[in-house]
Amino acid sequence: MRLQGVLLDLDGTLVDHESAVRDALRAWLPSLGVPATDEVVALWAVAQERHLVAWRERRVSFQEQRRRRLRDFLPSVGVRFVDDDEHLDQLFDGYLHWYEQAWRAFDDAEDALTAISRAGLATAVLTNGTVAQQTGKLARVGLLGRVGPVYTAEDIGSAKPAPRAYLIACDRLGLPPAAVLNVGDRYDLDVEGARAAGLRAVHLDRNGGGPMREHSRIASRRELVRFLPS
């Protein structure tokens, strides 16, 4: 079937989420008396992924996964805290302030969007986030309105890698799954999940982490042109 549309992941694909997290931690953690060493940043990443999984599986709210993240992380770096929702929300707001300041688009995002447009393909974003945060992120980096509609896990009631998330996105885009290419940096979420729903998929492997057996793998979004109709 002829390719008619492209679904784009957001964090790690269009926006440099990992750099934003590192920059935010370097600005925020010293206010808690904690140096933002590589080891500490790694602890945050582990806690972040653990509780985002619970959010993706609809077991906790988005705000609750933030609180649980802090309950895991703060004791591991020796920070005492009052374990109530209001206090945890205030603490997380301190991190969130710096995280939002650090949002940046990857420098290859513009080239990729131009190539998709020239190929005459529809575009949309499919992201495991909330409407407010993800549209705010796109607005801050100047991509809102350039990427087509934004479908979030909060909005559609399902998160990647569940096939349902992809099928709802394709339905809203008005295209059959076989005519849609999904592009993202997480192999488990953006490639395996998309293919399970009947979409095509390209793995954006910026750091060369593999899997190397993957035939549809690119190191930069500028290489996406290889998978688009000429």
Q: How many domains does the chain have?
A: 2
If asked whether residues 91 and 121 sit together in one domain, one would say no
Does pLDDT of 129 surpass 90?
yes
User: Which tokens sit at 43?
Assistant: 């602890």
Share of the chain above pLDDT 90, in %: 99
Torsion of CA 124, 153, 181, 177, to 10 degrees: -110
Instruction: State residue 224's pLDDT score.
Output: 95
If asked whether residues 132 and 182 sit together in one domain, one would say yes
Residue 128 belongs to domain spanning: 5-16+104-227
Tell the residue number behind the tokens 């992809």, with chain if given: 166
Domain boundary among 101, 130, 159: 101
Average pLDDT over residues 1-14: 97
Domain boundary among 45, 69, 101: 101
- The tens digit of pLDDT for each residue in 39-53 reads 999 999 999 999 999
Does pLDDT of 230 surpass 90?
no
Domain boundary among 101, 135, 161: 101
Strand, helix or coil for residue 183: strand
Strand, helix or coil for residue 2: coil
- Euclidean distance between the first and the last CA atom of the chain, given in angstroms as a whole number: 15
Average pLDDT over residues 183-194: 97
- The tens digit of pLDDT for each residue in 54-110 reads 999 999 999 999 999 999 999 999 999 999 999 999 999 999 999 999 999 999 999
Rounded CA-CA distance 23/98 in Å is 7
Would you place residue 22 in the very low, low, confident or very high pLDDT band (cuts 50, 70, 90)? very high
Are the C-beta atoms of 134 and 127 separated by less than 8 Å?
A: yes
If asked whether residues 12 and 125 sit together in one domain, one would say yes
Question: Which DSSP string do the residues of 74-125 spell out, in sequence order?
Answer: HHHTT-----SHHHHHHHHHHHHHHHHHT--B-TTHHHHHHHHHHTT-EEEE
Find the CATH number of the domain harbouring 86: 1.10.150
Are the C-beta atoms of 67 and 45 separated by less than 8 Å?
A: no
- The tens digit of pLDDT for each residue in 134-186 reads 999 999 999 999 999 999 999 999 999 999 999 999 999 999 999 999 999 99
